Amino acid sequence: MKISARNVLKGKVKNVKHGSVNSEVTIALPGGVQIVSIITKKSAQALRLSKSKQVYAVIKATNVMIATD
């Protein structure tokens, strides 16, 4: 994966809470810090997000996106 964003944080999915349109994804980073991102439910399903999956929190401006290898 190559990306232009400078802030890429590797972590593991702690929880995914699906709503009717969006999903709330909690990512546990090393050291115990957690990041929460709201993404579309369709994106969460396409990324096959589930507990303990390794992911990247990609931070660009005020948005937090989720990426997988």
Residue 29 maps to which CATH number?
2.40.50.100
Return the higher-pLDDT residue of 22 and 65. 22
pLDDT computed for residue 29 by the predictor: 97
Domain presence at residue 2: no
**What six digits make up the tokens of 62?**
């005020």
- Burial-class residue 26 by CB neighbours within 10 Å (0-12, 13-18, 19+): middle
**CA end-to-end span of the chain, whole Å?**
6
Domain span at residue 51 reads: 7-67
Return the higher-pLDDT residue of 63 and 10. 10
Domain presence at residue 52: yes
The total domain count for the chain is 1
pTM: 0.83
The model's pLDDT over 9-61, given as tens digits with 9 standing for 90+, comes to: 999 999 999 999 999 999 999 999 999 999 999 999 999 999 999 999 998 77
Domain presence at residue 37: yes
pLDDT computed for residue 62 by the predictor: 67
Sign of the Cα pseudo-torsion (42, 44, 46, 48, in order): negative
Domain presence at residue 1: no
> Are 56 and 64 within 8 A, CB to CB?
no
